[in-house]
Structures are given as structure tokens and as C-alpha cells.
Structure 1
Amino acid sequence: MGSSAVVVGGGIGGLAAAIGLRLIGWEVTVIERAPVLDDAGAAISLHANGIRALDALGVGEVIRAAARPQYSGGTRNPAGGRLARMDGAALERELGTPIVGIPRATLHRLLREALSPGSLLLGAEAASVDRSDPARPRVPLGDTVLEADLVVAADGLNSRLRTQLFPHHPGPAYSGSTVLRAITERPVDVRGDFELTWGRGAEFGHIALADGRAEWHAVLNSPAGVRYPDPLAEMRRRFSGWHEPIPALLSATRPGAVLHHDIHELTTPLPAYVVGRTALLGDAAHAMTPNLGQGACQALEDAAVLSAALATEPTVESALTRYDTERRPRSQSVARAARLAGRMGQQLTHPLAIALRNTALRLTPSRTTIQAILRHANWTPPSLGPLDATAPYPCPPERP
């Protein structure tokens, strides 16, 4: 069994993979192309499966301490009418842990702090993997070459390593939606820990954070590449007349804090997540739309499964085969479900379709809503063997 790895990409998935590999005794080097880590970004929700993966990697408690549990909220229409209610306490009873909200910058920082000192290389871009020696892949970095037993390609949506390994794959496709988001500059009195509002071809949501501030996001049907001279002013215009706390959230936001990104996904699934001794992970393997809040959670699952396979399988090859077998079907299924959720949610534009959806949501029992969340969130990480950092969870077996 090998004992050294190069992780390409210092995002959530790459950092989590490095933590897991270090936990099982591997030497790890993380390559991040950004020369400076400015910790930009908004915030995310982590479902039980993501939290459990973090527990398996030994960092769950420190993440929980920095996050805010989500117990209240749900889905509304632009006038504020309730479409569905989120019962966070019921989810916690089922899963043993609530959904939590945390700034991405905080999550990144805490994951970096769990790495070995000196293991993160900034300003280093890996464009390819040299696989001429099947047992010792090499990553060229200018005049330097890093050699290891394993390369983890966690280099994101526009992964250069994925392009090298699968040159005929079409790559990411535009989803038809664009997202603007920010964290408020000051605390805001919001009425729910997490809430979504669905209008015609538009969604506005917020996540309440532990320090009283809140993250908001606005998802719009839009051609790719559209940008606004004043994004915050455009959001105030676009969501004028929508219910509180949407105006309050926008008023509490500094104009320069608004981020704007088009949403892309891998609509064509990869035929494998492993080529030789290179494993793809996170968005490089299965970039998905954010409609289920599962993108980061699936990357964390990848990291936990990869670490467990390498800790318990007899060879790197058998471990990577197991990783691909376990991760590809599940993550690609979640990606399909997220795409469908977007089409039935924010992307709807026909008034009759919107009315039918809203009526169906109002009539859906709370238990059915919980079951829909459990379908993806009720996941238990595999054992890391003698180094296992997981704890048992009071939950039923995973739903099919």
C-alpha cells in the first residue's frame, strides 16, 4: 500500500481529502493555484451526510462549534405565503445532527488548520499528471516534479486534470441559471434559520449565521455571461416588493460584497472517477447545481470514502476501485436529483406550472418533506478501521 499523495486543489473537497489521508498515516501535499488565500465566499448549509463525513475525518466538532444549527424556516412565495415548513428538530431526531449553516471562509480556514504544517503549497498550478510510471504518478510544477503513490484531482468545476484524463468528455454545461450572493455586513433579524422564496424564474434564500449575520443568495434564469454594473442595485430592483426579510438583507449588504457566478454542472456523467492512480473528487468528478445543498456534502463524502478505502483495502488499486464503485453511482444520482429540483423549483416560469407546484407543496405532509431530505442526507461513512473517528448515529438504515 502506498503512503504519499498529491492533492490538486485547496477547496473544501481537496482539503478534506488531505485531512483524511493524513489521518490514516499518509504524507500529503496540497497544491493550490491561488497565490493568496483571501477566504472569499458566501456561506453554505451542511446536511447530516456532510457533517458525518467531517466526523469521520476527525473535524466534525470544530466545524459544529463554528456553525449555526438550522431548526426553523422553509419555503415561501414572493408575498410571504408559506409553501412548506422545515422541521429541523424532526430532522435532528432522525439523523442525530441538524443541518448547519457556516461561512465558506470559516469552513476553509478550519479545514486548513487541520492540515500538517507546510503541506499546503500556494501559487502552484498543476496542469497535468505524468502517468508514464503506473505506480508513481508525477505532477509537474514548473521546474519541480512531485512524485507520489496517488494523485487526487480536486481542482474544481473546470478541472484541467479531468480534461487530460477524459479528453473527449464535453466538460461542464451551463445550467440556465446564475447566482448572486453575499454575507450581510451586520446582523439581521431574520425569521428563520434557513428560508427559500420561489418566484417566476427566480429564487431568493438566506442562511442565518452564528454571529447574527446572514448569507443571502439570488438565483435567476439568465443567459450565461450577463453581468450588472451595480449588482446590489439590480437585486433591489429585481426583488422589489418581495417579503421581509429580503429588503432588510439587501439593505444590510455592502455593494462590494456581492459575488456573481453562472451555475455550471456536469450534465454528462463521467464514465469513471479513477484513471490509474489518479482519483477525481468533488466538482472535478460530479459538479452539480446547488438546488439540494449537496455539492460540498458530496465532496466531503468523497474524501471520507477515499480515506476509508485506502485505510482498509490491501492495495491502492483495490482501494481506488472501491472508491469509484461506491462514489460514482451515489454522487451522480444526487446530481440528477439536484438538476430536477431546480427545474421544478426556481427555474419554473409558466404561471400554471408555478401554481400547481405551490399547491402541491402546501398539501404535502411534513413527514413527506422530511423523507425527501433523508433520501440524500441519511448516509453513514465507512469505517477507517482502527483509526475510525466516527460515532454511531441514532438513525434508521439509508433509504433507497
Structure 2
Amino acid sequence: MSVPKPEAIVVGAGPGGLAAATALHRKGWSVVVLERSATLEPIGAAIAIAPNGLRALDTIDAGVPLRACAAIRGAATLRRPDGRVLAPTSGEAFTARFGEPMVLAARAELMRVLLAGLPADALRTGTTVLTVTPGDADRRATVSTADETLTADLVVAADGIRSPIRRAVFPEHPGPRYAGFTTWRAIVPAMDITPGETWGRGLVFGAMPLADGRVYWYATANRPAGATHGDAAGERAELLRLYRDFHEPVGDLIAAAPAEHILHLDVHEMATPLPAHHRGRVVLIGDAAHAMTPNLGQGGNQALEDAIELADVLSGATASAVVDALPGYSRRRVARTSAVVRKSRRIGAMAQWHGRGAVAVRDTLLRVAGRVAPDAALRPLDPVLAWRPPTGAAVSTRAEV
């Protein structure tokens, strides 16, 4: 007699949720993805896929099409607002050090690739989860929506930084806190740029090329949580004011973005780690478990790691064995993701320094380090990008792109 497939419900159809659904599906699970939005519109302009994220994608045969998006070649620099170089590097140096490129892809492209790995009927949009009961060794987890109540052997909470599921299963946890700065992002038509970031006094501006020639830019500024400057046009006007003294083509990049296409979000992080990333038959991944500042570009990559590690922990597990297996997932992920959150916070704090004296010291140290050790800008990434898929994960055979 055949053993029925274990069943999983994934809540949230972002990159982490879709990767987890695909990874579990490939391990023989029956998977349903519940997404509250009526249509699957990617939130955010672009996403940086680092070597660790590419290796995670390889295990679900999604790495090859994303590598085709690699476009950061030649010089890449960290600069002052006047254009003076603080620390040089290059796309080639990055690839030589970490064995893979840094890929900047439109989020829509990543979502398309991940959806291709799922059965057509796996995704249910326009479905808001109202309540979750985590279950235990003897009872399946329960998920209630406005239309029905579902049960499953596993619930994957990939429902983002404001995760209602996290609040339900860890009500004692304080949740995310404001990191002290806000961010804007946009994709604009092709323009001649040198990839990299510019650090000012409490201001950061970054610009990176996409494979199709367009440019993705992002900006950050220190200001109180929730502060706005009226409508979308007012926000763009404020951006042009804040960065008016930055080197070219910063102003042109901001001006090239239609005001309504500039995404503005305050930055929050999980400063207090969760005691575990699971409870009962519920497991948390991505921002629901370990939201971090964007300074390492690791939010999405850690969610991809989560997905692959979760599927590996559950590989071969029967429905009744899920509760016993999930502590292994927490052991793998809590310490690592907490360390990445802390490292991202430290770099973000330094990048957002505002005091004239502190910024002068920071810039001097960066210039000296860049001269003495040309790879100084890449060294902090070593432990972050060193992750490899667990030996039990299926690795695809891929051609080099």
C-alpha cells in the first residue's frame, strides 16, 4: 500500500515562500501556497542574489536562468558624495573570491523562475489567512481563511516582516523594531553608471545595472519612522533635495524615475532573535523569522537558504515525524541568521553615521583599508557567502553562463 504524501501549506508567495514550496514539492510533498494579494505582483524593484542564494537556487534547478541576469562587470566602487573613491572592487574580483557573481535581478524575473517549478494549481491568490493552530505530534496544523479551514502536516510561514503567524505562535516576542532609517528604490532606463554605493552623512545611494540595460537604484536616509513628504511627487522632491550635492549621475537617476514608481519603505529588523524558528508544525522562514536591514543584501538570500535547509531537514520524514524533525531546522538556522542580522546592523549603522567627525574617521579608515588590502570591501562577506547547500539537497547539473 502506498504511503500518502505529506501535506504542506505555505503562507506567502514571496521568493522564500515559493522556494520553500518548490523544494518541498521536489521532495515529494503535496504543497499549497496561499497568497493574500489578488495577483502575484512582486514587491520591490529588484533583488540581489548572492552566491549563497544562487547555490540555494541550484538545488531546485532555478540557478541557471538567474545567472543570465549577472551584469555587474568591471569597476564597482564605494565613494564619497563628491565622487572620491573610498574602496574599489569589481564584479570580476567578487566572482574570483566567492566563486559566483552577484546577480541583480528584477524581482518579477525571480518570481517567474520560482513559479515555473510548481504545479499550476499550487498557488491560490486572494486568500488571507485568519488563524493558525500549530498542532503537535498528534494533531495536524490548522489554517483558517475567510472561505475554509485547511489542515496540513506542516505550515510554512513566509508571510513577511509583519507576520501574523509569528505573532500567533510567538505572542511573547517583541517583533521587529525600526532600524532608524528609511529607504527608496526604483528601476530606471539605461544610463551610464559605475556600479556601487556612495556614503554621505546619514545618506547612502547605490546604483547597479540590470541585464537588460536598465539601472536599479536605492537610497537611504536617517529620519523618524513614518515620516513622509506628502504624496509621491513630494517624496521624489525630497530625494532630489537630500542628494543634490552628490556626484553625477545621482540626481539624474532620481529624476528619471516616475514619482509613482519609487518604492518607499521604512527599514525594520528583528533585533531580538526568536527562541526558535518553529513551534509545533509551524515553521517560519525569511522576514517572518529574521528580518534584517538591507546593508548586506541578504534578506532574500537567507530566505532561500531557509527554504533549502527546511526541505533537507524534512527529506524522507513522514507526516507523523514532522514535529520531531523541525527542531533540527531551528538548530541550523537560528544562530546563522541571527549572526547575519547583527552583521547587517553593524554595517548599516556605520553607513548611516551622520556626525561630521565620525564620518571623516570612517572615510579615512575605508580609504586606508582599500589601499593596504584591495579586497577589504569584500572580506566581511566571507562567512556570510560561504554557505553551501546541505549534502542531502538535490543539486542540479548546470552549464556555466
Task: State the TM-score, normalizing by the size of structure 2.
Answer: 0.92
- Equivalent residue runs for 1:135-284 within 5 Å: 135-184=139-188, 186-192=189-195, 195-229=196-230, 230-284=234-288
Give the match for residue 339 of structure 2. 333
CA contact (8 A) 1:41 1:105 kept: no
- 1:68 pairs, out of 67, 71, 80, with 71
1:366 paired to 2:367: no
CA contact (8 A) 2:13 2:34 kept: yes
Please identify, of 363-372 and 159-168, the stretch whose mean Cα deviation from structure 2 is larger: 363-372
Q: Residues 64, 250 of structure 1: CA spacing in aligned structure 2 closer, same or farther, 3 A cutoff?
A: same
Give SS of 1:250's match. Answer: helix
User: What is the Cα deviation at residue 300 of structure 1?
Assistant: 0.5
Q: Residues 40, 273 of structure 1: CA spacing in aligned structure 2 closer, same or farther, 3 A cutoff?
A: closer
Alpha-carbon distance between aligned partners in 2 of 1:63 and 1:171, rounded to the nearest angstrom: 32
Residues 37-88 of structure 1, C-alpha deviations (whole Å, 9 max, x = no match): 2334211211111111111122111222244345531210000000011233
Q: Matched residue pairs, number?
A: 388
Structure 1 vs Structure 2 CA RMSD: 2.0
Alpha-carbon distance between aligned partners in 1 of 2:381 and 2:343, rounded to the nearest angstrom: 11
Give the match for residue 101 of structure 2. 98
CA contact (8 A) 2:130 2:146 kept: no
User: What is the Cα deviation at residue 201 of structure 1?
Assistant: 0.7
Give the match for residue 379 of structure 1. 387
Alpha-carbon distance between aligned partners in 1 of 2:251 and 2:123, rounded to the nearest angstrom: 41
User: What is the Cα deviation at residue 351 of structure 1?
Assistant: 1.1
Sequence identity of aligned pairs in percent? 42
User: What is the Cα deviation at residue 392 of structure 1?
Assistant: 12
Q: Residues 391, 106 of structure 1: CA spacing in aligned structure 2 closer, same or farther, 3 A cutoff?
A: closer
> Structure 1: any 5+ residue segments left out of the alignment?
394-400
Alpha-carbon distance between aligned partners in 1 of 2:159 and 2:397, rounded to the nearest angstrom: 27
User: What is the Cα deviation at residue 258 of structure 1?
Assistant: 0.8
Alpha-carbon distance between aligned partners in 1 of 2:10 and 2:154, rounded to the nearest angstrom: 8
Give SS of 2:129's match. Answer: coil
Q: Which letter maps to 2:192? A: D
CA contact (8 A) 1:70 1:101 kept: no
Give SS of 2:357's match. Answer: helix
Q: Residues 162, 348 of structure 1: CA spacing in aligned structure 2 closer, same or farther, 3 A cutoff?
A: same
Give SS of 2:133's match. Answer: coil
1:350 paired to 2:355: yes
Residues 73-104 of structure 1, C-alpha deviations (whole Å, 9 max, x = no match): 12100000000112332331232211111111
Give SS of 1:86's match. Answer: strand
1:51 paired to 2:54: yes
CA contact (8 A) 1:306 1:319 kept: no
Q: Residues 133, 47 of structure 1: CA spacing in aligned structure 2 closer, same or farther, 3 A cutoff?
A: closer
Alpha-carbon distance between aligned partners in 1 of 2:399 and 2:252, rounded to the nearest angstrom: 41
CA contact (8 A) 2:27 2:311 kept: yes
Task: State the TM-score, normalizing by the size of structure 1.
Answer: 0.92
Give SS of 2:225's match. Answer: coil
User: What is the Cα deviation at residue 340 of structure 1?
Assistant: 0.7
Q: Which letter maps to 2:245? A: G
Alpha-carbon distance between aligned partners in 2 of 1:119 and 1:98, rounded to the nearest angstrom: 32
Alpha-carbon distance between aligned partners in 1 of 2:306 and 2:43, rounded to the nearest angstrom: 24
CA contact (8 A) 1:130 1:138 kept: yes
Alpha-carbon distance between aligned partners in 2 of 1:68 and 1:392, rounded to the nearest angstrom: 18
Give the match for residue 119 of structure 2. 116
Give SS of 2:132's match. Answer: coil
User: What is the Cα deviation at residue 16 of structure 1?
Assistant: 0.7
Alpha-carbon distance between aligned partners in 1 of 2:272 and 2:163, rounded to the nearest angstrom: 15
User: What is the Cα deviation at residue 236 of structure 1?
Assistant: 1.2
Alpha-carbon distance between aligned partners in 2 of 1:75 and 1:231, rounded to the nearest angstrom: 25
Q: Residues 83, 291 of structure 1: CA spacing in aligned structure 2 closer, same or farther, 3 A cutoff?
A: same
Give SS of 1:93's match. Answer: helix
User: What is the Cα deviation at residue 162 of structure 1?
Assistant: 0.3
> Structure 2: any 5+ residue segments left out of the alignment?
none
Give SS of 1:369's match. Answer: coil
- 2:21 pairs, out of 18, 22, 29, with 18
CA contact (8 A) 1:203 1:220 kept: yes
Give SS of 1:174's match. Answer: strand
Give SS of 1:128's match. Answer: strand
Q: Which letter maps to 2:387? A: W
Give the match for residue 299 of structure 2. 295
Alpha-carbon distance between aligned partners in 2 of 1:24 and 1:3, rounded to the nearest angstrom: 10
CA contact (8 A) 2:204 2:221 kept: yes
